[in-house]
Amino acid sequence: MNFSYTTRQQEFKTSALEFAQAELNDSILERDRNGEFSFKGWKACADFGLQGILVPEELGGLGLDPLYYAAIMEGIGQGCKDNGLIFSINAHILTCIVPILLHGSNEQKKRYLEGMISGKFIAANAMTEADSGSDAYGLRTTAVKENGNYVLNGSKTFVTNAPVADIFIVYATTNKAGGFFGLSCFLVEKNTPGLFVGEKIEKMGLRTSPMSELGFNNCRIPAGNLIGQEGGGGILFSSSMEWERGLILANCIGIMDRLLSDCLNYANTRKIGDQTIGAHQSIAHKIAQMKVRLETSRLMLYRAAWLKSLKKSATLDTSLAKLSISEAYIENCRDALQIFGGYGYMVEYEIERELRDALASSLYSGTSEVQKNIISSLLL
């Protein structure tokens, strides 16, 4: 079993790292403070090819598989300090492009994918509701077919990219008695009458990734905006979540790698008396544990990506990856803060922002508790 990157994968990863370092880190302290989304960074990523990694070449993308996605996003995470921007791009790709790519009609692919990979369109996934979270059985947003259209009513919350989005992937109930098979998925464009985008929600971390609520008041969309089949939204969502859980933390492996390098440099240069702090066992052990978490997380990521590249079901492995990587990522950020001490708490050293951004990883794409429920249900 070969655990190394291929030469081509390593070239893509290195190119992504160099691109991110050169193009994506301008004014990050100020933009984080103001919660400012980088349209410039979004377009630069699109020009680099990031949004089109998984899209076939005949549709304008790079035509690469999930293993390449993991390698490229790891490089991006290592080089880019704007974690919110990359979170927004991951959401755009994994919860919006992938469903259209796998389940959309030829007309939908033709109409939307080119703009989604060129940077012209920003997409947002709208599943979560205030009363039901991501419980497909409990969605109160409805879609009723009427005269060749669907009429949507309801609301969504915690919608990443919503304040800047051009396209929304919306899940709604089309048959209340159908349970899992009563859910359907729709494309809704931003200027559709009856669609309301709420004010940007202020957050603890990932501040450069905008989020808001959505409302639908007799929002009428063409029947052709249904993705897949009516009643197929539950299966579509489950498929999308498998991709998301398996790959959304790929950039976080790069962040963990960058933080470890920063901590090593600090531990080898910061002195207390005549000794560097790295000579103290308490610091050395933290660094050792950070390395263990990094390498085990990397293995979990690439196993999940490998299974998706083989087009195999990976429900268990993607939940294992999501749970273990998110917890390791948070712990590494906490250890980095301890290693830097009081300086780590200061904004200018940028460690406190990394911790704030990391904490959300145990919540989005299914909380750690949800992942444990999935894992245990598949084992028991």
Residue carrying the six token digits 């390098």: 261
Classify 257 as helix, strand or coil. Answer: helix
Q: How confident is the model at residue 133 (pLDDT cuts 50, 70, 90)?
A: low
Residue that the structure tokens 């940028």 belong to: 350
Running DSSP on this structure, what letter comes out for residue 80? Answer: -
The sign of the CA dihedral 83, 87, 92, 93 is positive
Taking a C-beta distance cutoff of 8 angstroms, is the pair 247, 73 a contact? yes
What is the β-pairing status of strands 123-126 and 167-173?
A: parallel
**Please, which residues bridge with residue 222 across strands?**
149
Q: Provide the b/e sequence for 124-144 (b: ≥16 CB within 10 Å).
A: bbbbbbeeebbebeebebbbe
Positions marked catalytic = 244
CA–CA separation, 358 and 353 (whole Å): 8
Residue positions counted in the chain: 380
* Phi/psi at 61 (5° precision): -95, -170
In Å, how far are 88, 102, 173, 248 from 64, measured between CA atoms?
A: 20, 15, 34, 16
User: Can you read off the two tokens belonging to residue 187?
Assistant: 């494309």
Average pLDDT (187-207) is 97
Identity of the amino acid at 320: L
pLDDT of residue 283: 96
Q: Where are the domains of the chain?
A: 7-122, 124-232, 249-379
Is the pLDDT reported for residue 342 higher than 90?
yes
Backbone angles phi, psi at 128, to 5 degrees: -65, 140
Q: What angle do CA 259, 269, 351 make, to 5 degrees?
A: 30
Average pLDDT over residues 116-145: 89
- Look at residue 281 and tell me whether its pLDDT is greater than 90: yes
Q: What is the pLDDT of residues 88-126, one digit of tens each?
A: 999 999 999 999 999 999 999 999 999 999 999 999 999
Tell me what the mean pLDDT of segment 132-139 comes to: 71
Q: Tell me, what amino acid is at 87? A: F
CATH architecture of 249-379: Up-down Bundle (1.20)
129 in Cβ contact with 76 (< 8 Å): no
Between CA 115 and CA 246 the distance in angstroms is 25
Q: Is the pLDDT of residue 75 over 80?
A: yes
Give the tens place of pLDDT for each residue, 80-94.
Answer: 999 999 999 999 999
Q: Helices in the chain by DSSP H: which ranges?
A: 7-23, 28-34, 39-48, 66-79, 83-92, 98-103, 106-108, 114-118, 233-247, 250-269, 281-309, 315-340, 351-359, 368-379
**The pair of three-digit structure tokens given for residue 355, joined into one six-digit string:** 């911790």
| CA 305/CA 314 separation, integer angstroms | 9
Cβ-Cβ contacts under 8 Å for 345 (sequence gap 6 or more): 337, 351, 352
> Which residue is listed with tokens 């990734």?
209
Q: What is the CA radius of gyration of the chain?
A: 21
With 90 as the cut, is the pLDDT of residue 207 above it?
yes
Residues 6+ apart with CB under 8 A from 220: 146, 149, 150, 151, 152, 192, 193, 194
pLDDT score of 261: 98
239-263 tens-digit pLDDT: 999 999 999 999 999 999 999 999 9
pLDDT > 90? residue 135: no
Average pLDDT score over the chain: 95
Cα(132)–Cα(129) distance, rounded to whole angstroms? 5
Weakest-pLDDT range from 8-17, 57-66, 172-181:
172-181
> What class, spelled out in words, does domain 124-232 have in CATH?
mainly beta
Is the pLDDT score of 134 beyond 70?
Answer: no
Task: Give 19's pLDDT tier (boundaries 50, 70, 90).
Answer: very high
In this prediction, residue 132 carries a pLDDT of 78
What local confidence, expressed as pLDDT, does residue 334 receive? 98
Q: Which CATH class is domain 7-122?
A: mainly alpha
* Count of Cβ atoms closer than 10 Å to residue 374 Cβ: 20
Using CA atoms, how far apart are residues 369 and 81, in angstroms rounded to an integer?
28
Give the CA count within 13 Å in the CB-facing half-sphere of 305.
25
In the chain, DSSP finds a helix count (H) and a strand count (E) of 14, 10
Percent of the chain with pLDDT over 70: 98
Q: Distances in Å between the alpha carbon of 264 and those of 29, 229, 269? A: 23, 53, 9
